[in-house]
A = this chain, B = another copy of it.
Amino acid sequence: MASNKTKSGRDDAQANLGGVMAIRLVLKILEALATRPSVGVTELSKELDTTKARVFRHLRTLVDQRYAVQDEGSERYAAGARLIALSRVAALTPYEGLVRLARPTMNRLRDEFGHTVNLSLVYGDSVSIVETLEGNAVIGVVIRTHAGMPLHSTAAGKLLLADRLAREGKIADEPLEKLTENTIVDPESLRMELLRVQEQGWAAAPEETVLGINALSAPIRDHRNELVAMISMLSAIQFISRQPSRELINATKAAAEEISSALKL
């Protein structure tokens, strides 16, 4: 006697997976509210494959709690003050959330290769290292956080410049400071390097800031594909060679991709 036309009874629709059923739905609704200007009851019920009544009850609760509001004239629903406030708090500084998000991936990278790993954030037209994990080499390389770094001679900096070049077609041609004998100081050479960086999706800077040191960096992009941060490995050039191994490159790119996709809901 399989229930053919059960009068009531929660349908198996998505009722299985465990956990509190109401929560699974409300999270989906919150995501919808966060990503769109407004949503409708019927519209949502179709997308989430459930009934209007259910969506309505949940939305109404969200309105009670000020997590949603209803456009005047009793129409569609939109994100409420509380949801927006929650957002501002969860990402304390615009980026603090990102740091939390990146930490597990950074740990994994460090454990796998043993190099110093760091996370740089983009602030307008500058880059700042906000988190670093020391490598486990006996004699290792460290880097100070929150220090202003030159852009043209660092791996993360090149990623920013490459992004700006791709977006605006040009970069400000300030004089390029020669930090070592390997620093790229010729604007045209730098332009070529940046085009290569943009295409390959990673950057290195072998002995371009400090002799004997190399770094490898990959871009982290948000849900709008904006460049928001970079993850980098840093070590003696003895361990990260001028032309880094495919393995190292792929791991760095994968890590950046992983964090990027986590930013996309």
Contacts and interface: CB of A to CB of B under 8 A. Distances in A.
Number of identical monomers bound together in the oligomeric complex: 2
A17 interface: yes
21 contacts: A17-B64, A19-B60, A19-B64, A19-B65, A20-B57, A22-B22, A22-B26, A23-B26, A23-B61, A27-B65, A34-B89, A83-B90, A85-B223, A86-B87, A86-B265, A87-B90, A88-B263, A89-B223, A91-B91, A92-B224, A94-B94
A81 interface: yes
B64 A79 contact: no
Contact of A85 (B65, B83, B124, B262): B262
Contacts of A18: 61, 64
Contact of A87 (B20, B62, B82, B87): B87
A84 interface: yes
Contacts of A86: 30-31, 34, 87, 90, 265
A176 interface: no
A101 interface: yes
A67 interface: yes
A178 interface: no
Interface residues of A, number: 49
Q: Tell me which of A60, A124, A223, A262 has the highest count of chain B C-beta atoms within 10 A of its own C-beta.
A: A262
Interface in A224-265: 224, 262-265
A58 interface: yes
Contacts of A83: 90
A128 to B, nearest CB: 13
A98 interface: yes
Contacts of A223: 85, 88-89
Interface in A209-230: 222-224
Given A23-B61, A27-B67, A84 B89 contact: no
Contacts of A33: 90
A91 B64 CA distance: 21
